[in-house]
Amino acid sequence: LAPCHTCELCKQLAGMVEKASIEDVMKVLMASRKQDLHQLWNTCSHLVAKSGLPPEVLAKHLPLDVVAKIDDLRLKSSMSRRS
């Protein structure tokens, strides 16, 4: 696929995952990571971060480095709300 088609596809997929269950979002998150689809990764990681699932639960479904990135997003998000 040409880069512009990949971008358009990512936008469409991002719209779909916003309506998906958190379990499905985690699956798409991992697929987007493997395929280097940054926009989709950003959308999914933010949705997982907003889900409120504790790190212990996320660790059952996601690699620990991904759980750490989600925790980092949560920290950044809470800091931005305070300022």
Tell me the residue length of the chain.
83
Q: Residue 3 carries which DSSP code?
A: H
Q: Is the pLDDT of residue 10 over 80?
A: no
Separation of alpha carbons 74 and 83, rounded Å: 15
Report domain extents, the chain: 22-80
Q: Is 5's pLDDT higher than 70?
A: no
Tens digit of pLDDT for each residue in 19-48?
889 999 999 999 999 988 888 899 999 999
Q: What is the pLDDT of residue 20?
A: 87
Please state, rounded to an integer, the average pLDDT across all residues of the chain: 86
Torsion of CA 76, 38, 48, 29, to 10 degrees: -150
